[in-house]
Structure 1
Amino acid sequence: MTRIQVLLACVSVSALAACSTAPSQITMRGPVNASSAMFDTRTSYGQFLAGQAALRDGKSKEAAGYFGTAAVLGDDPGLIQERSFTALLLAGEISRAAAAAPTDPDATEAVKRLGVLTRVVESIAIGKGKDAQALLKAEPPGFPHQQAAALLAPWAAAAAGDREGAIVQPTLRNDKLVQFFGQQGQARLFERAKRYDEAETDYKALTASAATASIFTLDYGGFLERRKRHADAVALYDTALRAAPADQGLLKARARAAAKGAPPPLPTVRQGAAEGLVACAATFAGERQTQFALAYLRLALRLDPARDEAWVLVGDLLNQNQDPQGAIEAYAHVAPGSPHYASAQSKTAWAWNDIGDKAKALEVARATAIAVPNDRDAAVALADLLRAGGQWNESVAVLDPIIARESASPDWRLLYLRAVALEQAKRWPEAERDLQAALKINPDEPELLNFLGYSWIDRNEHLADAMGMVQKAVAARPQSGAMLDSLGWAYYRLGDYKTAVEKLEAAVEMEPGDPDVNGHLGDAYWKVGRATEARFQWQRVLSLEPDDKQKAEAEAKLKDGLGVMGAATKSTVAHN
């Protein structure tokens, strides 16, 4: 497990400063649309609007260009400078962002605080540690940057040549992140000062707790290897591998230590400072504060441009912001041989799939599975892409050997994935077997309960058991429209059409774009005599990009109804 995965569950923080109101002398003449030329880009404010739209769409580089032009044309230099700074920071143009960081007393306080942090990082990056240390002391950035400021302070001191200041462990009241990563930084700085006993005391404390061992084992192991204590390092890695036997980073480290290979170098001052920023970025990402997370990752990469886990998380955030091309560019920074390579390439494949280039997605996924044949995640990603592309039997074939290898300790998730592909491949008995096996491992998992329960309901089998299963699933996830649809369909199959309508109406509210849910509600309406509304729902199915089966069923129902009440009268509502 990577540090990023461990840290993705943290406290709530504020978002970046909201966009300021447009200057009062500007008259808006319609909605701003990033995809159309709705603004006169010959004017400063036209450039500003274009920059705002690009920034909202996650196109930070384009935004920075618009804001730069707006600043030259200049009608409101303060506001434009703030937006330009934000765009440059999010685009990774840290040197330019530091130069553009607002310092005017009238500037937005939140932007000024982030500007101070950016200037501190840039000072460390260009070797001006004394400037960084002085800035942190003179203008300590406040909320929500206290964690970053605390973690950066020792590294700024180290960059400034302040040996005593460098080994002071940072603290922040009731803040575990600062406690743990501050102690990690102290351990490294003790090691830099050749105070090895004190460094080892910190490393041991970080790996002694189950809560932090998975995060800091590689750090302590690297220290042991640098001290030529290879047997101790192997023992440490073996202990960690018992909890995470497939962890590629641990496996690689163990093999290196066992062979007494060259140890990982002690991180530089810049790399150590970057680590704390990545930890803070993961905190923001865990609370979906994507702009702060991306800003911190860009700052970290200014200090340590080869930090692979940061590039992976940048790609993840860009993907979440509907920028798959930017995500692909970020993932491409992770080189073969990195523990993060397989993950980055698998995510690259999914990004190509999101763009719509399914052939390229499969090409990347297949190449990754070949390049790292023992990487479980790469194989699973290939299987999932094959399933998503309708190549169900091929997906099953990729999963079969993985599940067979892990038969002594099966993973319910892999059984579930294979069951989905088997069901789509019309191999129901095998799918049913996998689902039942998965439920033995994890009997309360809502996804399993819903899938098997719904499948039985749809096949008109084991209805009483299926009803109990979907009821349990809905109780666990009451906001899931898909699971509520299963429950409604169960009532339909049992002939309780009134209750079916009630449940399916609620399901459609949660999943208005799902063809199956809309079709089920139409069927239930028909059964209770609401033919006009039934036809409306079936017509809606045709507007929701149904597959061939869904389309054929909806068209047949629109023509003949369900055949129980006879042909329904034609409804004009259904065709509006």
Structure 2
Amino acid sequence: MRRLLVAFAPLALVAACATPPQQQAGWTPPALDGMGGSAYGAFLAGQGALNDGKGAEAAAYFAKAELEGGSSDMLQDRAFTAAVLAGDIPRAAQLAPQGEEASESTKRMGQLVKAVEFMANGDGKPAQDALAGENIGFPHRGAASLLAPWAAAMAGDVEGSLIRPEVRNDRVVDYFGQLGQAYLFERARRYDEAETDYKALTGGDTPGDIAVLAYGAFLERRKRGPDAVALYDRALRAQPNDEALASARARAATGKGAPPQPTLRQGAAQVLIAPAAGMLAAKQDQLGLAYLRLSLRLDPARNEAWLMVGDLMESAGDIDAARAAYGKPKPGSPEYPVAVSKLAWSFQNAKEPETALKMANAAASSGDRDARITYADLLRANDRYDESAQVLSNLIGDDPNPDWRLLYARGVSYERSGRWPEAERDLQGALKQRPDEPELLNYLGYSWIDRGERLPEALGMVQRAVAANPQSGAMIDSLGWAHYRLGDYKKAVQFLEQAVELEAGDPEINNHLGDAYWRVGRRIEADYQWRRVLTLDPDDKIKADVEAKLTSGLGPKGPATTSRVAGP
């Protein structure tokens, strides 16, 4: 089974509403759905919303419970959590739990929230005190350690701001603590020590782009443009398609417009992004969202945080909130093309393809590479294969060494539009770059299998794909279909049954299994599978094939095997 699975866009997780309720125009508290407006009913509704990850809705219910006369440490605990997830950090700081019934973990988060709120208001000394020592324990020790030097700088404690944070066995603190120290050394005009940190962070063959961009900006501010260009060039050799690095390189080459030093609030906001990402990667979604909210309280223009919040909102099904978050990056910012891509896909997924395509086309007209890729992907998603191939051809023509994923995507567009020789050329070209890529092995292998060409070679390719992804129903279907084409129907049934177990709702796999059942004499089961296909929203080609088999009662057309088998 062919399936284009390689994606250029990022991930999504569970979360809550993007905008605090009191900031939403025309917002009114939600009804209590027959609970009589009691404090207890509001509390239960708020708890349900909180469990569903809907922070703003939960905050509204808890506020209503309080208005209805409810008051307890537990209610304050829940209201605090909801306010954090909704992004109402000033309110959350007021609600930070202290009572005996409040959980220890919520108290620790409350201490961190209060520290961030102090910093958001420029109150460095109380923030420094809140973050000091063991005031904030697990799991927030890393975030608190990263914030502490910035709070010290706000308090005017220069020496305290230059102490590098340490948390045992915490690589995030090691990396971002040193990056923060480099920023703060520069702020203290201790440039040699700042550069020592930057060099340590950017050593090696593949330095992280965060440190490279920070070091490059430092060099630009020190009027060392050629050194900055050399640094960016080294990073671009490892990441040739990195738009942020390319933009920084172009800027440095002019010798003008060096980025300013981050403000203390901006620096503090940046160090919270990494712990947020770490929490999300560990499936600690509420904590990850909370850190993102705290980062945005310190720097509302932190675009990467808005993109992550948008992903969380979309995964939670709050499309309006996701779009609001994706709408935060402004034109001209490095994150803007990604934000527009995510916005466009949100409309595509909501079955508004014309809006999605219009938005993506407008973004692609800027010439941005990622925006053009998004437009090509959306064209293909809407069966406009020739147009997608043309957009990709323009991209490929701009690059003497085109990315294998671009060749793969164009090969898919060519194949879907019936331009097989061109598709085969692109798929083979991509496979030369990535000979062990399971998606490529499966797509090209299945294409040959379905065409009855190069069957022994194609069988080997899909076997390698399945070995790499043994739980992929699509790849196991390809393997079953290869055995079917080679006339080994019993083995075909074995693999196709496995594929249907993994992809029960796929019409093509069910159709294949019906054909295999027919070939081994299991006619009743074949009839059942074909009838099931018609309930699974098949495309026109599969639907016509199934209906013909059911109407004629003669099973699959023609022989199962083919004489068009070619050698490698």
Note whether the superposition's TM-score is higher than 0.5. yes
Structure 1 unmatched runs, 5+: 1-7, 10-14, 17-34, 567-576
| Equivalent position of 2:24 in the other structure | none
1:322-378 deviations in Å (ceiling 9; x for gaps): 3332221111110111111111111111111112211111011000011x21x2111
| Equivalent position of 1:504 in the other structure | 496
| Equivalent position of 1:275 in the other structure | 270
Distance 2:221 2:429 in 1: 46
- 1:428 and 2:420 matched: yes
Return the match for 1:175 from 170, 173, 182.
Answer: 170
| Equivalent position of 1:444 in the other structure | 436
Return the match for 1:400 from 393, 402, 406.
Answer: 393
Q: Identity rate of aligned residues, in percent?
A: 58
- 1:147 and 2:142 matched: yes
Between stretches 159-168 and 389-398, larger displacement belongs to 159-168
| Equivalent position of 1:475 in the other structure | 467
Amino acid at match of 1:110: S
Between stretches 157-166 and 355-364, larger displacement belongs to 157-166
Does structure 2 conserve the Cα–Cα contact (< 8 Å) formed by 1:470 and 1:483? Answer: yes
Between stretches 296-305 and 153-162, larger displacement belongs to 153-162
Does structure 1 conserve the Cα–Cα contact (< 8 Å) formed by 2:131 and 2:145? Answer: no
CA shift, 1:303, in A, is 0.3
CA shift, 1:527, in A, is 2.3
Amino acid at match of 1:205: A
| Equivalent position of 2:57 in the other structure | 62
Distance 2:102 2:145 in 1: 24
- 1:73 and 2:65 matched: no
**Helix, strand or coil: the match of 2:202?**
helix
| Equivalent position of 2:347 in the other structure | 352
Does structure 1 conserve the Cα–Cα contact (< 8 Å) formed by 2:515 and 2:556? Answer: no
Root-mean-square deviation over aligned CA pairs: 2.4
Q: Taking CA–CA contacts closer than 8 Å with sequence separation of 6 or more, which of the two structures ends up with the larger relative contact order?
A: 2
Amino acid at match of 2:394: P
Cα–Cα, structure 1 residues 211 and 143, in superposed 2: closer, same or farther, change >3 Å?
Answer: farther
Q: Give runs of aligned pairs for residues 75-474 of structure 1, distance below 5 A.
A: 75=70, 77-137=72-132, 140-210=135-205, 212-370=207-365, 372-373=366-367, 375-406=368-399, 408-474=400-466
Distance 1:476 1:123 in 2: 51
Return the match for 1:491 from 483, 507, 517.
Answer: 483
Amino acid at match of 2:379: L
Does structure 2 conserve the Cα–Cα contact (< 8 Å) formed by 1:450 and 1:469? Answer: yes
Does structure 1 conserve the Cα–Cα contact (< 8 Å) formed by 2:303 and 2:329? Answer: yes
Distance 1:544 1:85 in 2: 45
Cα–Cα, structure 1 residues 565 and 261, in superposed 2: closer, same or farther, change >3 Å?
Answer: closer
Distance 1:427 1:565 in 2: 24
Return the match for 1:48 from 43, 51, 55.
Answer: 43
1:462-507 deviations in Å (ceiling 9; x for gaps): 2111111111100011011110111111122222222222211211
| Equivalent position of 1:546 in the other structure | 538
Between stretches 249-258 and 415-424, larger displacement belongs to 249-258
CA shift, 1:138, in A, is 6.1
CA shift, 1:253, in A, is 2.2
Between stretches 384-393 and 171-180, larger displacement belongs to 171-180
Does structure 2 conserve the Cα–Cα contact (< 8 Å) formed by 1:140 and 1:149? Answer: no
Distance 1:88 1:356 in 2: 32
Between stretches 197-206 and 253-262, larger displacement belongs to 253-262
Does structure 1 conserve the Cα–Cα contact (< 8 Å) formed by 2:74 and 2:101? Answer: no
Distance 2:557 2:335 in 1: 60
Does structure 2 conserve the Cα–Cα contact (< 8 Å) formed by 1:480 and 1:510? Answer: yes
Does structure 2 conserve the Cα–Cα contact (< 8 Å) formed by 1:324 and 1:354? Answer: no
Distance 2:109 2:248 in 1: 37
TM-score with structure 2 setting the length: 0.88
Amino acid at match of 2:436: D
Distance 2:394 2:346 in 1: 26
